[in-house]
Structure 1
Amino acid sequence: MKRRGNIYIVSAPSGAGKSTLCRELLKAYPDITYSISHTTRAPRGGEENGKDYHFITREAFEERIEKGLMAEWAEVHGNYYGTSLETLEDTVAKGVDVLLDIDVQGARQMCESLPECVTIFIMPPSVDELRARLEKRGTDSRETIEKRMKNAVGEMDQRDFYSHVIVNDDLNEAVAAFVSVVKSCREGVAS
């Protein structure tokens, strides 16, 4: 009998290194599928439908919500974003693992829809280090950084909801910890 795939939910405050860790995990496990969200916003320059997002109409998204076809969803800045329940179910039924990079609110919704999800929270080494990383990026205004910092504190306060917490102080150690969580789940040791 084919094993059922795992669903790995990864959340972190902006600047904690989640995207980097996810890229490194996918290098270690290229057979893991990265979940592509649905959205009602217009594509940005260079974005492709089905690769970056599944771009759909507001009406189609609302219909999917009404029919219970979304594992998680949220309205952000007037646009819907979410994850298709049927796509997730089909993928894991085939024995394929799925990686989702979603916020704390989305993670909670996902776990209601699919309680077997493996939840992983990426922590920065400290609030001061997080601020330094955001400032070093040079892409956000002072006001945006302050908003991200406020949001980060609220997100970090919810880390106990997650079954695994990885502190991204040293990138190599954080990658090793992330790979270890996935390896143990794939071997049926942990969830």
Structure 2
Amino acid sequence: MVVTSDATVGVLESSKVSGFGQFQFADVVRLVDGNDTDSGSVFDGCEPATNGAELAGKIALIDRGSCNFTAKVLHAQEVGAIGAIVVNNVPDTDEPAAMGGEDDAVLIPNMGLNFADGHLMYDSIRAGNTVTVNMFNNAKLKDGTLDNGIIAHEWGHYISNRLVGNSAGLINF
């Protein structure tokens, strides 16, 4: 993830791609759900957003909290957010929020971010700055059934006797 609006922040290397959604770039706005009883934060996205007009067409910045990641991102999507970033709530780790889950209703891009990098964006927003990010993934997705490297590798197991008989190989030539 790259913060394009502030050169002092720049690349946020702690970002982690979730297991669902696409990729996007736009201005960032904190999602406000107005309820802090579950995790102590009104920014955790565990309830529907109360600032939908601000989030429409923007990337929602959401605190990690006590509910599923897919629910957080879905709440942002429901008010028109075009992406979501979930910031880890554990300050003593460099790890981003490891966002797992499945929900076919989630269609917007989303990523996890570590505590320190997320708070760089929080600080910039609190200072009255507009934060713009570019969410991207450089990974090339491949289909293993069409990747000749995988096919050749597995064929090599066969011709090297590993898959013959009881997987102990041939006992003679």
Note whether the superposition's TM-score is higher than 0.5.
no
**Greater RCO, 1 or 2 (C-alpha within 8 Å, sep 6+):** 1
Larger CA Rg, structure 1 vs 2:
2
TM-score (norm: length of structure 2):
0.28
TM-score (norm: length of structure 1):
0.26
